[in-house]
Structure 1
Amino acid sequence: MHTTGRHNISLDEGWCFQADTAGAGEREEWQITGLPAPREVAVPHTWNVEEGLEEYRGAGWYEYSLSIPEEWSGSRFRLHFEAVYRDAVVWINGLEAGSHINSGYTAFELEVSAHILHGKENRITVKADNSPAAQALPQALSFDWADDGGIIRPVQLIVTGQTAVKHIRVSPAVRFGPAGQQASGRLLAEVQLCGPSASATIGAAIFKNGTQIWEDHRPLPPQSAAWQLVEMEWLPVELWHFDHPHLYRLQLIIREGGQLHDEVTVHFGFREIVVRGHELWLNREPVRLMGVEWMPGSNPASGMAEKLEDLGAMLERLKEANAVITRFHWQQGNELLDWCDRNGILVQEEIPHWQQPAEPDQHTFAVALSQAKEMIRDHSHHPCIFAWGMGNELNGQSETTLRYMKQLKLEIHALDSQRLINYVSNTVHLKPRSDATGAGDLLMWNDYIGTWHGGLDEDEVIRQMLADYPDKPVVVAEYGLCEPVYEGGDPRRTAILVHKTELYRKYPQFAALIFFSLNDYRTQMGEDGQGRWKQRVHGSVDVHNRVKPSFAALREMASPLLLADTPVQTEGEFEVTLTCRKDIPSYAVQGYYVTMSTDGVEGAAQVIPDMQPGEVRTLSLKLPAAPVTELTLTVYRPNGFSVLELELGQ
């Protein structure tokens, strides 16, 4: 008999760990003599934030023991790792169960049913190796972040009946009617089974805010483990947007012979993001967006082994900066992307191909495509992901790189035709027409004119880019100040932010700006600090998430609303004037609200009428009857994140 339904058993607590600094480890005898004794750790875990192991690159050994009930003998068992950096080999009870190499940030899963001992203790052994490798991506030591080794994200044992869901691919589609009418949506779900079914049935249901809006039941074809289709008819839907992150839930239930074999859910959203000429359109609205990049893994206490509360604290800071778009140089975990889904952040997630090899070959192509397949397989249900990134800062002026990016884009488009696909260049300003970023749907430019790129005439550079690509939007994927290589400190960082943002705003072809970076970040190639403190000082917050003065400038520059500095006070009320920006950022403001706090106590919310870019509105806010010491006005987004504040005085 098998267990009923699905059990996702967390294996995060209770691992034993030993670093193989002597290079002597073997799977049969992983407790290596001559080294410190194994000790208990919890995963996510990395050894590179521990004293004495900060610079260690090599193998680390993990072991976990758990009992499997005898009555689960008919079940299917899968071991799921969200990420192990970088090369992983897994043994169950001394027998090799599988491996995952050349990719340290994508999830992998092993079928381990044949290795399980029922009614007994089972021993899981994992070897994680973060040694530099020329075959991997990122290659060798060519990457600007920390190469923390270990089981850096959560681990689960998935227990189901024999007929179970292996992967779900959801493809939401949106249909727009006349202006003012609600959009319609439909869902195509492709379900891959772990094994063939004899007489199984699959039930599918879609929920919005706990209410079921659609369902379907059908038999699964006998002996088939191929993709099965579950198709929803067109229904009115609420669209996902960074200010209105509406989510839906697909539930699948598999039964066979009257028994529940598996039950799984996946969240998704309906939204459309497309390029129209030199404009970026979100849900049929032309938008110009402001964002900032955050480099995870930068807190010296946790490194890449960040827990959800650590990730959430940094993501909240990103939202506080009024950022609605970001990019990640390497693949992230589902917990982080779930947060972006729920709270509204547009994400470009990238293959970690950073600078080397500058002119990639077919081996590099195979590794990149393998990572793209894993990334898209596990993350394509996230509405927050608007684009896949193919790499960053290669030799973009090379014909070899251009051919590589064109070929890789074709392969990724075949995997996911609903998202944009881009390459981020730091060379497009040299000869725009021949640069590899032209292979992408967006021109993505890392602009360091004035620092890394020298003293070029930036207006002249931009005019040439726009002349060579008149019908393609431009995204500035990085701009900022990197200390200590370049001096000037946070005042210079603020000056660069303000000057360049104002420059980009003059050109309608600039669809989005992503400041670099939100935080000072840990990196193996950093010029400041040593060991786990090795970093680049590039952020508006430090490695402990403490803000610098430039953060306030970033928050102000990224606000979609401008607030008059001198509200008009009349008898019993304030009149406050708001302007909806129409340069960058530029998007409709809908469902925003304002509150007034008196002596630190926040009052009732007053809804701000919907505003289009360029519109101006004046609000009347009642003053409290009793005398107060402090009055603060705060504007909020619909999902509760503050946009701006104004101290009104007494």
Structure 2
Amino acid sequence: MINSGRYTAKLDSGWKFQHDPQNQGEREGWHNAGLPAPVTVSVPHTWNVQEALEEFRGAGWYEQQLEAPEEWAGRRFRLFFEGAYRDTDIWVNGTLAGTHYNSGYTPFETDITPYILAGGNNRLVIRVDNRNSDTALPVSNSFDWADDGGLIRPVTLVVTGSTAVEQLRVEPKVSFSADDKPAGGTVAAQIKLCEPPAAAVQAEIKVYRNEVIVWQGTEEIAAGALAWSFAEIGLDEVELWHFDHPHLYELEIVLTAGDGIQDRLVRSFGFREIVVEGHQLLLNREPVRLMGVEWMPGSHPEAGMAEGAEELTAMLVRLKEANCIITRFHWQQGNELLDWCDRNGLLVQEEIPHWQQPAEPGKDTRLLALSQAKEMIASHSHHPCIFAWGMGNELDGQSTVTNGYMKELKEEFLQLDSTRLVNYVSNTLQLQPASDATGAGDMLMWNDYIGTWHGDLDEEEVIRQIIADHPDKPLVVAEYGLCEPAFEGGDARRTRILREKTAIYRRYPAFAALIYFSLNDYRTQMGEEGTGRFMQRVHGSVDLYNQAKPSYAALREESSPIVLAGEPVWKDGGLELTLECRNDIPSYAVRGYSLKAAVPDGEVISQLLPDLAPGEVRTVHVELPEGAGSASGANDGAARTAALSILRPTGFSVLELQL
């Protein structure tokens, strides 16, 4: 640890837990003496999936023993929480070391250096309370997801030298030539230290691509400096991050003082540009029209909001296998989930949990929203997957108060991060489009439930009015689908809504993206179906256990950027496929895709497909070995079979054909 500068350990095992329905823990000194009757749990953890505690809203206590070796004397100790729902108090050896209130999904850390005793065990006690609160976001019980309490995301012990990085903000920028080709890039960074160093500190800086150093240098941090930034690093060539080509870089900062390495931090990032221009959404200067789906995490009945890597990854893979490459989250997520999106190519709008807030938000609400935005952006702004920040969802968008609030909040978001889009998602745009608060955002984001929640309006008349009132912004359908049991029709109706509405949206170039709602049935404290940990809304194309319904196949088909233009033909000792790159929604260039053919004898043939521009049609000949796919082994037009897969460069399947 001393040589590397930073030691981190996930505190996932060895926890004791006890719920506190009578609020007796602090009165009886549990923070000092330990928990009197605990059970053993692992973290992440929520009590709201445990038998007898499924409906419990109140305080839950956690206890952990931290061993600090003698050689750690003089080091800095911090606890990093990816998220705890919700109001959190932290004691170390009986002394209150930190608190975090009114925000259950943003990351935070607590410096516990003054309270740690090196050379022995230390008692860590944490109390988390998930009772409804009128001073928190989300407010009271007005939100449509589970309010699971506990240490719902990883807790990490971080040990460094006394001079250590508290925050690291990476700012990559890509340059383009006159013909919109990438022409290099720059990297800058802003660093906040835990405390000003007493003497000058050397900062060694390295930029990596595929574990190869592409730039390195050294700068000095002056004594007494709390914040520090280095000048832009110029790179002549950069590989751009794209949902099909998620190229990543790493920035390494090593701080060295007189007694050796103090801290070492590595942060991944990507070069990409996402801007709006009129009705268009441009990714790296390419106009794109995207298909996506929203996913509501925390819905597995065995894990709840404490879903681990296995459950989260399974849902993310399911999302990508649906050919969806854009999503949004109503509330802040953890860095591990966002790391997956970075590596695998998923565009994300991450939002503060502003949902059905009263029509006249006061100063306290604005300050709380801004506080959550600061924590979210400080921890997550390095993720290239995040293309936009969300200011809220369904906040009475026709209100003049909401309009003013969203305009003000957007300016404050841009002060925190001017490199991303900022949006508000409305469910009232269909009423008076010109005066709706979603117009304050960079894109119009509309939850469209015409035909169910919004009544039987004329869909196309509404769309034409929206476009006429907002001729200069892209339109994104942020939700559309069917919610049971509020509305009848089951999965067949869900499929019909998906296909019919998607067909309508495709006719209007103003639509830049569609985000279907939702991928999964989801656990929610306001669910109309089920009880306890199974209380849910039936809104998805997979169930709580990630089992696909028939509408999932329809979503995958509608979201594919490639379609077959005609029937495959066995010809000239192989197979001929005519492929078309969609030119409506989705619409983007297809580059680096491949085709795999598996024939009955077990052989798999793989070949690269030609690049396709939107609207382009190409015939591809799949070369097969002589006799492959034919039961007789002959190559004379007899019945032949093959299983075909078209794959993205990231390995996710686009189309599966059995011939």
TM-score category of the 2 structures, normalised to the smaller one: over 0.9
**2:632 pairs with 1:631:** no
Alignment of 1:138-149 (within 5 A): 138-149=138-149
With over 3 angstroms needed to count, the CA separation of the structure-2 counterparts of 1:360 and 1:271, relative to structure 1, is: same
- Aligned partners of 2:221 and 2:648: how far apart in 1? 45
Alignment of 1:436-447 (within 5 A): 436-447=437-448
**2:129 pairs with 1:129:** yes
Query: Residue 24 of structure 1 contacts residue 32 of structure 1 at CA under 8 Å; is this kept in 2?
Result: no
- Aligned partners of 2:455 and 2:169: how far apart in 1? 46
> What corresponds to 2:306 in structure 1?
305
> What corresponds to 1:343 in structure 2?
344
Q: Which moved more, 1:37-46 or 1:224-233?
A: 224-233
Q: List per-residue Cα deviations over 1:553-572 (Å, max 9, x = no partner).
A: 00000000001351122241
With over 3 angstroms needed to count, the CA separation of the structure-2 counterparts of 1:144 and 1:601, relative to structure 1, is: farther
Alignment of 1:130-169 (within 5 A): 130-169=130-169
Q: Which moved more, 1:318-327 or 1:35-44?
A: 35-44
2:114 partner letter: A
Q: List per-residue Cα deviations over 1:275-326 (Å, max 9, x = no partner).
A: 0011100000000000000000000000000111111100000000000000
> What corresponds to 1:66 in structure 2?
66
Q: CA deviation at 1:602?
A: 5.7
Unaligned 5+ segments in structure 1 are none
Moved >4 Å (runs of 4+)? 1-4
**2:188 pairs with 1:188:** yes
3-state SS in 1 of match to 2:452: coil
3-state SS in 2 of match to 1:376: helix
- Aligned partners of 1:2 and 1:212: how far apart in 2? 23
With over 3 angstroms needed to count, the CA separation of the structure-2 counterparts of 1:256 and 1:229, relative to structure 1, is: same
Q: CA deviation at 1:177?
A: 1.1
Q: CA deviation at 1:180?
A: 7.7
Q: Which moved more, 1:59-68 or 1:596-605?
A: 596-605
**2:654 pairs with 1:643:** yes
- Aligned partners of 1:181 and 1:138: how far apart in 2? 43
2:155 partner letter: V
Query: Residue 28 of structure 1 contacts residue 94 of structure 1 at CA under 8 Å; is this kept in 2?
Result: no
3-state SS in 2 of match to 1:60: strand
Q: CA deviation at 1:625?
A: 2.7
Alignment of 1:408-427 (within 5 A): 408-427=409-428
With over 3 angstroms needed to count, the CA separation of the structure-2 counterparts of 1:181 and 1:355, relative to structure 1, is: closer
> What corresponds to 1:176 in structure 2?
176
Unaligned 5+ segments in structure 2 are 632-639
Q: List per-residue Cα deviations over 1:197-217 (Å, max 9, x = no partner).
A: 212100000000011000110
- Aligned partners of 1:73 and 1:180: how far apart in 2? 55
Q: CA deviation at 1:599?
A: 2.9
- Aligned partners of 2:510 and 2:51: how far apart in 1? 49
Q: List per-residue Cα deviations over 1:45-100 (Å, max 9, x = no partner).
A: 00000000001000000000021111211101111111100110100000000100
- Aligned partners of 1:412 and 1:255: how far apart in 2? 34
- Aligned partners of 2:499 and 2:430: how far apart in 1? 20
> What corresponds to 1:116 in structure 2?
116
Q: CA deviation at 1:30?
A: 2.1
- Aligned partners of 2:27 and 2:533: how far apart in 1? 29
Q: CA deviation at 1:380?
A: 0.1
- Aligned partners of 2:53 and 2:38: how far apart in 1? 14
3-state SS in 1 of match to 2:234: coil
Query: Residue 3 of structure 1 contacts residue 72 of structure 1 at CA under 8 Å; is this kept in 2?
Result: no
Query: Residue 3 of structure 1 contacts residue 161 of structure 1 at CA under 8 Å; is this kept in 2?
Result: no
- Aligned partners of 1:519 and 1:57: how far apart in 2? 25
Q: CA deviation at 1:646?
A: 1.3
- Aligned partners of 1:122 and 1:518: how far apart in 2? 44
> What corresponds to 2:637 in structure 1?
none
- Aligned partners of 2:71 and 2:294: how far apart in 1? 49
Alignment of 1:426-575 (within 5 A): 426-564=427-565, 566-575=567-576
Alignment of 1:213-292 (within 5 A): 213-257=214-258, 259-292=260-293
- Aligned partners of 2:450 and 2:338: how far apart in 1? 32
> What corresponds to 1:43 in structure 2?
43
Q: CA deviation at 1:362?
A: 1.2
- Aligned partners of 2:132 and 2:105: how far apart in 1? 15
> What corresponds to 2:636 in structure 1?
none
Q: CA deviation at 1:32?
A: 12
Q: CA deviation at 1:600?
A: 8.2
Q: CA deviation at 1:236?
A: 0.7
Q: CA deviation at 1:601?
A: 3.6
Query: Residue 359 of structure 1 contacts residue 395 of structure 1 at CA under 8 Å; is this kept in 2?
Result: no
With over 3 angstroms needed to count, the CA separation of the structure-2 counterparts of 1:600 and 1:150, relative to structure 1, is: farther
1:122 partner letter: N
> What corresponds to 1:54 in structure 2?
54
Query: Residue 87 of structure 1 contacts residue 104 of structure 1 at CA under 8 Å; is this kept in 2?
Result: yes
Q: CA deviation at 1:184?
A: 1.0
Alignment of 1:564-603 (within 5 A): 564=565, 566-599=567-600, 601=602, 603=604
1:645 partner letter: E
1:632 partner letter: A
3-state SS in 1 of match to 2:132: coil
Q: CA deviation at 1:37?
A: 2.3
3-state SS in 1 of match to 2:54: coil
- Aligned partners of 1:324 and 1:171: how far apart in 2? 23
3-state SS in 1 of match to 2:144: coil
With over 3 angstroms needed to count, the CA separation of the structure-2 counterparts of 1:27 and 1:273, relative to structure 1, is: farther
Q: Which moved more, 1:1-10 or 1:421-430?
A: 1-10
Q: CA deviation at 1:639?
A: 1.0
- Aligned partners of 2:496 and 2:399: how far apart in 1? 33
Q: List per-residue Cα deviations over 1:397-447 (Å, max 9, x = no partner).
A: 000000000000000001100000000000011001111000000000000
> What corresponds to 1:333 in structure 2?
334
Q: CA deviation at 1:27?
A: 7.0
Query: Residue 3 of structure 1 contacts residue 160 of structure 1 at CA under 8 Å; is this kept in 2?
Result: no
Query: Residue 25 of structure 1 contacts residue 32 of structure 1 at CA under 8 Å; is this kept in 2?
Result: no
Q: CA deviation at 1:178?
A: 4.0
> What corresponds to 2:611 in structure 1?
610
Query: Residue 392 of structure 1 contacts residue 425 of structure 1 at CA under 8 Å; is this kept in 2?
Result: yes
Query: Residue 3 of structure 1 contacts residue 159 of structure 1 at CA under 8 Å; is this kept in 2?
Result: no
1:334 partner letter: N
- Aligned partners of 1:308 and 1:264: how far apart in 2? 23
- Aligned partners of 2:98 and 2:601: how far apart in 1? 57
3-state SS in 1 of match to 2:45: coil
Q: Which moved more, 1:195-204 or 1:403-412?
A: 195-204
Query: Residue 204 of structure 1 contacts residue 215 of structure 1 at CA under 8 Å; is this kept in 2?
Result: yes
Q: List per-residue Cα deviations over 1:484-514 (Å, max 9, x = no partner).
A: 1101000000000000000000000000000
3-state SS in 2 of match to 1:605: strand
Aligned residues: 647
Q: Which moved more, 1:1-10 or 1:574-583?
A: 1-10
2:285 partner letter: R
Q: Which moved more, 1:433-442 or 1:189-198?
A: 189-198
With over 3 angstroms needed to count, the CA separation of the structure-2 counterparts of 1:446 and 1:601, relative to structure 1, is: farther
Structure 2 length-normalised TM: 0.96
Query: Residue 4 of structure 1 contacts residue 160 of structure 1 at CA under 8 Å; is this kept in 2?
Result: no
Q: Which moved more, 1:562-571 or 1:123-132?
A: 562-571
- Aligned partners of 1:28 and 1:347: how far apart in 2? 45
1:646 partner letter: L
- Aligned partners of 1:147 and 1:216: how far apart in 2? 47
